[in-house]
Amino acid sequence: MSKSLDAILKEIDERKGEMIDLLKTFISFQTPAPPARNTKEAQQYVASLLRELEFEIDMWDIYPNDPNVVGLLKGTASNSHNSLIINGHMDVAEVSDDEEWELDPFTPIVRDGVVIGRGAADMKGGLAGALFAIKLIREAGIQLRGDLLFQSVIGEEVGEAGTLQCCKRGYSADFAIVVDTSDLHIQGQGGVITGWITVKSNQTYHDATRRSMIHAGGNLVAASAIEKMTKVMEGLGELERHWAITKSYPGCPPGSNTINPAVIEGGRHAAFIADECRLWITVHFYPNETYEQVANEIEEHILNVAKGDIWLRENPPTFTWGGTSMIEERGEIFPSLEVDPNHLGVQLLASSHQRITAQEAISDVSPTVTDGGWLGDAGIPTVIYGPGDLLNAHSVNEQVSIEQLVAYTKVLTTFIYNWTNQSKKEVRTREI
Query: How many alpha carbons fall within 13 Å on the CB side of residue 267?
Result: 14
Q: What is the C-alpha separation between 58 and 318, in angstroms, rounded?
A: 41
Query: How many alpha carbons fall within 13 Å on the CB side of residue 319?
Result: 19
Residue pair 85/177 in contact by the 8 Å Cβ criterion: yes
Residues 6+ apart with CB under 8 A from 155: 33, 36, 62, 63, 66, 89, 91, 161, 162, 325
CB atoms within 10 A of CB 355: 14
- Answer yes or no: 91 catalytic: yes
Nearest to residue 173, comparing CAs of 258, 274, 71, 82? Answer: 82
- Answer yes or no: 156 catalytic: yes
Residue pair 334/193 in contact by the 8 Å Cβ criterion: yes
Query: How many alpha carbons fall within 13 Å on the CB side of residue 22?
Result: 23
For helices 125-139 and 40-52, the axis angle rounded to 10 degrees is: 20
CA angle, 100 then 106 then 107, to 5°: 90
> Per the residue annotation, which of 66, 91, 147, 174 is the catalytic one?
91
> Per the residue annotation, which of 66, 122, 147, 156 is the catalytic one?
156
Q: What is the C-alpha separation between 340 and 172, in angstroms, rounded?
A: 18
Composition of the chain by helix, strand, coil, percent to 5:
40, 20, 40
Task: Please report, to the nearest 10 degrees, the dihedral formed by the alpha carbons of residues 135, 136, 139, 140 taken in order.
Answer: -150
Give backbone dihedrals phi and psi of 193, rounded to 5 degrees, phi first: -140, 140
**Which residues are identified as catalytic?**
91, 156
